[in-house]
Amino acid sequence: MPHLLRHALISTRDLVVSAAPFVLLALLLLWGAFIVLDPAPPRKVVLATGPEQGAYAEFGKRYAEELKRYGITVALRGTQGAAENLRLLRDPSSGVDLAFMQGGAGDALYAIDEAGQDAGLVALGNLFYEPVWVFYRTAAVKDEALTQLTQLKGLRVNIGAVGSGAANLVTKLLHANRVEQNDLTLTRLAPTPAVVALLAGELDALVFVSAPESPLVRMLLQTPGIGLLDFVQADAYARQFAFVDALKLPRGVVDLARDIPAHDVRLVAATSTMVARAGTHPALIQLFVQAARRVHGGTSWFSAVGQFPNAAVTEFPLAREAERYYRSGPPLLQRYLPYWLANLIDRMWVVLVSIIAVLIPLSRVVPPLYEFRIRSRIFRWYAQLRDIEESAGAADAQPARLLERLDALDAKVEHIHVPLSYADELYALRSHIEMVRGRLRSATAGAVT
């Protein structure tokens, strides 16, 4: 091996050995901080959606695709709707981490802010409008256009399956119109069976509370013989209920060519929110809020670009990570670094600064330790050299024997390798060996004469 390479390897080895305790301590501190802070989100999360063919189910698939880009699997759990989702979130054993929630989905006739009293639940923001769609067979009302819920009296009406948020919301609206349950023939079918029953004439009307992305809603809007209730009192509903807004379905928005609808239709709408357990990993909440911007941030029938998601949540406290996103946007590092690295730094930077503050003073130990290790390789032979020199001055000294010891010592020193910066000390040792050798030879020559 070339001498230069050998010296470089030896110097590197000594530096590594000298710095090993310092590096080990740094790694232990980082490992401890990683365990305590848990910066990496779980690889799997359960999202409660809603019934098949509904808007929640459709949006759930989009969220699953969005988070798949970050290596996170979103398991979608189908439910009957927002009311069941709320019960699942309240139940720690359900395994549900996040769920779509609907304004007014709490138990019927109770104050809407009851859900806000749930400890351990936080909102990620408002996502989209969910209009109250009251579809009816025009033949059942003798082609009379329905404009008020009181006109449903005496009809066979489906208000949603048990566990759906629609049933609870509609019950509140009916109660406000003094329409009692015995004034109607109520059924509680799931969305798809209810549509089948309506088209078969087994129902006179049905109520959906869903975003227009629902395939069933879009189909009914274009089905001949099916009318849509026009909420002429939409503004009044919005004033009386904090959980609904007044909207307008513009003329022709469903199908411009066929002019569907043929006129503007006034609607009332709840606002959909995503709710999570308070213990959900912060990085996961950050990812879901960013995904919500991509999924719901565009234009729709009822919202402008950038209107959703937003932080105007009233029923649940807003999660800290969500509030941070709405205030400042995505973390700065995520704009330039891979997500996993940006998230790691973002979650651990305070601890990293603290660790660095501790390690900087300790790092000053490494150079003296390295120097001591190199110099000890030279200085340890001075003990033998001194012993030889002191033995030469004894009365019973044997110069020839001492010369043999000195030659053996010199042979060992010849194989010492040190960095060039310490070569002067190695040559100093060898010159001192030569000096003692000269004295021994002089002593041997004197003994001979």
pLDDT tens over the chain, length 449 residues: 565 566 566 667 666 776 777 788 777 877 776 666 666 778 899 999 998 888 899 999 999 999 999 889 999 999 988 889 999 999 989 999 999 998 876 554 333 344 444 568 999 999 999 999 999 999 999 878 999 999 999 999 999 888 787 888 888 999 999 999 899 999 999 899 999 999 999 999 999 999 998 999 999 999 999 999 999 999 999 999 988 999 999 999 999 999 999 999 999 999 999 999 988 888 899 999 999 999 999 989 999 899 999 998 878 899 998 999 999 888 877 777 887 777 777 776 667 777 777 777 777 777 788 788 778 878 888 888 888 888 877 766 777 888 888 889 888 888 887 777 778 888 898 898 888 888 888 877 765 55
Instruction: Look up residue 207 and give its DSSP letter.
Output: E
Walk me through the domains of the chain, giving residue ranges and CATH numbers.
Answer: 44-330 (3.40.190.10), 367-448 (no CATH)
pLDDT at 113: 40
Which token pair is 194?
């209810």
pLDDT of residue 81: 87
CA distance 449 to 443: 10
Q: Hey, what are 251's tokens?
A: 């003329």
Cβ–Cβ contacts within 10 Å for residue 387, how many? 13
Neighbours of 338 (CB within 10 A): 11
* Omega prior to 309 cis, within 30 of 0: yes
Rounded distance between C-alpha atoms, residue 297 and residue 66, angstroms: 14
- Residue-level pLDDT at 47: 97
From residue 331, give the alpha-carbon distance in Å to each of 70, 98, 122, 352.
16, 22, 20, 17
Buried b (16+ CB within 10 A) or exposed e, 412-421: ebeeeebbee
Query: How many whole angstroms separate alpha carbon 276 and alpha carbon 289?
Result: 11
User: Cα(283)–Cα(159) distance, rounded to whole angstroms?
Assistant: 38
Q: Tokens 């030889």 belong to which residue?
A: 388
Summarised one tens digit per residue, pLDDT across range 137-190 is 999 998 789 999 999 999 999 998 887 878 888 889 999 999 998 999 999 998
Contact 85, 48 (CB under 8 A): yes
Give the separation between CA 244 and CA 316, rounded to whole angstroms: 16
Q: Taking a C-beta distance cutoff of 8 angstroms, is the pair 80, 162 a contact?
A: yes
Residues 6+ apart with CB under 8 A from 377: 416, 418
Contact 96, 89 (CB under 8 A): yes
**pTM of this structure:** 0.69
